[in-house]
Amino acid sequence: MRKLLILASITTLVTAFGTVNAQGLFGFRLLKLNGEQVVWNTWEGEPKATKVTYAFVRTRTETPDAINCRVMGPIDPLLEKSNIAREAFRQEIRAAFDMWEEVANITFTEIDDPSKAGILIGAQLEPRGRAFTNVAYKPGTEEPRPIEQSLICFNPEQRWKIGFDGNLEVYDIRYAAAHEIGHAIGLDHPPSTGQLMHHRYQEKFRTLQPGDIEGVGLLYGLRKAPSNGPAHPHVHSASATVRR
Ligand SMILES: [Zn+2]
């Protein structure tokens, strides 16, 4: 009787591993839009290093075919309501980009002109939820699909903060931004709760977790061997969407 039970457990395990293998044992999940994997492929020369620009929107910015962040505006209303200084906000966003840049072979550069930026950041003009990401890829058949533009929008009606204080109703900008950037570069929500890309906002860590690193490494390559895995971070929810 006991042997049978053990055998059953092992079979279950083997099955589970077989299914999960490609997604890093639940630690990450690649974003798929219309069933297609997406990735930034804006590298120049060798070695392959992906370069992505970002900018803060300055005026009302409408993206008619976006599902999320369709209408965005300057971040000012958020700063005002949550009493956050503009420069502090900007630095938190930078710190969020740095989390990904430090581990993977992808760089993010802030530019002034939103019309030339790969990733646009702004406040929702149709507030809902907390923060969202919209990912648009180029038409064609290239695989994975090349991302053309990502939009990241924060709800200015919600309260935001810098840092953790245990209040899970008010989200930390850096954690939320890092999570949304994860979507903007091709990651989805993993089933495992211990990752920054998990859909639930938590204040247990404020850096990328092993699954996050494994996922971004698969998409862009890791900068160095993951000897001492980073460990800390956290946001909430974004969904990704497609543009045709
Ligand atoms: Zn999300």
The pLDDT value recorded for residue 10 is 34
Residue 98 confidence (pLDDT) above 50:
yes
What confidence tens digit (pLDDT) does each residue in 148-203 have? Answer: 999 999 999 999 999 999 999 999 999 999 999 999 999 999 999 999 999 999 99
How many whole angstroms from 134 Cα to the centroid of ligand 1? 11
> Tokens 């949304």 appear where?
180
Q: Measured between alpha carbons, how far is residue 80 from residues 75, 89, 95, 161, 236 in Å? A: 9, 11, 21, 12, 21
Residue 18 confidence (pLDDT) above 60:
no
What confidence tens digit (pLDDT) does each residue in 73-96 have? Answer: 999 999 999 999 999 999 999 999
> By the 8 A CB rule, do 191 and 29 touch?
yes
How many whole angstroms from 37 Cα to the centroid of ligand 1? 16
How many whole angstroms from 196 Cα to the centroid of ligand 1? 9
Q: Measured between alpha carbons, how far is residue 19 from residues 15, 67, 198 in Å? A: 6, 30, 19
φ, ψ (nearest 5 deg) of residue 117: -90, 145
Residue 234 confidence (pLDDT) above 60:
no
What are the extents of the domains in the chain? 25-220
How many whole angstroms from 184 Cα to the centroid of ligand 1? 10
Q: Which of 29, 32, 41 is closest to 148 using CA atoms?
A: 41
The pLDDT value recorded for residue 214 is 95
Decide which of 22 and 65 is more confident.
65
Q: What is the mean pLDDT of the chain?
A: 85
**25-220 in CATH: which number?**
3.40.390.10
How many whole angstroms from 174 Cα to the centroid of ligand 1? 14
The pLDDT value recorded for residue 25 is 65
How many whole angstroms from 170 Cα to the centroid of ligand 1? 16
φ, ψ (nearest 5 deg) of residue 53: -100, 155
